[in-house]
């Protein structure tokens, strides 16, 4: 992976970039950054499209790119696709969660506000799956369910900031995630440390201190 993806995530996804700094192994850290870049590209697809049809076309492009990776074809000439192909090959990541992350973004093509149950499902299949896949890289063979719970809480808190009626669901989800991550292996904790920042107003300095404290305790 080039430094370009790391720079991108540092700029557009500071919470998860900061949590990735606690991954000691440089290759594992780079591979996790690739997952976040993939998630960013999927999130961007409906956001930059001028209408739902163009959003569908963008998401279909990513589905086809993913199919090509798993069919063994040369990856498309796109930095995130090429980096993802390398991670999939070396780490043996399963295809299903990466596909589900695409499916979840179709809901964002509908401009109607998400209902609480929709938002929870969306969060599980976006930030939740990204966290679970990151945990698979950091702690192969370990139970990754707690990581998905934490990633879900982080994603849902971000959406609740724009949709206040999701606040109650977000708070309950975060409390459940705090309990769940107690069973997460220490090696996998950087995959969920960003959830310690969920729903908080903060500064860059306080973010870093809170993240350090979360990693030290293994708690979000």
pLDDT band with cut points at 50, 70 and 90 for residue 2: low
pLDDT in tens, 32-72: 999 999 999 999 999 888 899 999 999 999 999 999 999 99
Cα→Cα distances 187→25, 132, 144, 150, 190, Å:
10, 13, 11, 15, 7
Residue 198 clears pLDDT 80, i.e. is over it: yes
Contacts of 56 (CB under 8 A, 6+ apart): 106, 109
Under a CB-based contact definition with an 8 Å cutoff, are residues 191 and 218 in contact?
A: no
Residues of the chain above pLDDT 90, percent:
89
Percent of residues in the chain assigned helix, strand, coil, to nearest 5: 80, 0, 20
Q: Rounded to an integer, what distance in angstroms lies between the CA atom of residue 166 and that of residue 90?
A: 39
The CATH number assigned to the domain holding 17 equals: 1.10.600.10
Number of domains in the chain: 1
- Domain of residue 123, residue span: 3-217
- Residue 98's pLDDT band, with cuts at 50, 70 and 90, is very high
């Amino acid at each position: 992976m080039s430094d370009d993806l790391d720079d991108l995530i540092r700029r557009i996804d500071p919470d998860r970039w900061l949590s990735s700094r606690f991954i000691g192994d440089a290759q594992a850290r780079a591979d996790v950054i690739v997952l976040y870049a993939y998630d960013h590209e999927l999130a961007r697809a409906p956001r930059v499209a001028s209408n739902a049809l163009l959003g569908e076309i963008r998401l279909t492009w990513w589905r086809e790119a993913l199919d090509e990776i798993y069919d063994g074809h040369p990856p498309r000439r796109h930095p995130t696709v090429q980096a993802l192909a390398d991670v999939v090959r070396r780490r043996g990541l399963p295809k299903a969660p990466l596909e589900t992350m695409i499916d979840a973004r179709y809901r964002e093509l509908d401009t109607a506000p998400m209902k609480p149950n929709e938002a929870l499902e969306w969060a599980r299949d976006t930030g939740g799956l990204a966290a679970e896949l990151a945990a698979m890289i950091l702690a192969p063979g370990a139970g990754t369910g707690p990581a998905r719970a934490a990633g879900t809480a982080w994603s849902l808190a971000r959406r609740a900031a724009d949709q206040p009626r999701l606040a109650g669901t977000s708070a309950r989800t975060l409390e459940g995630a705090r309990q769940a991550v107690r069973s997460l292996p220490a090696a996998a904790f950087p995959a969920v440390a960003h959830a310690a920042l969920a729903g908080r107003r903060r500064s860059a300095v306080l973010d870093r201190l809170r993240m350090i404290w979360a990693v030290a305790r293994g708690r979000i």
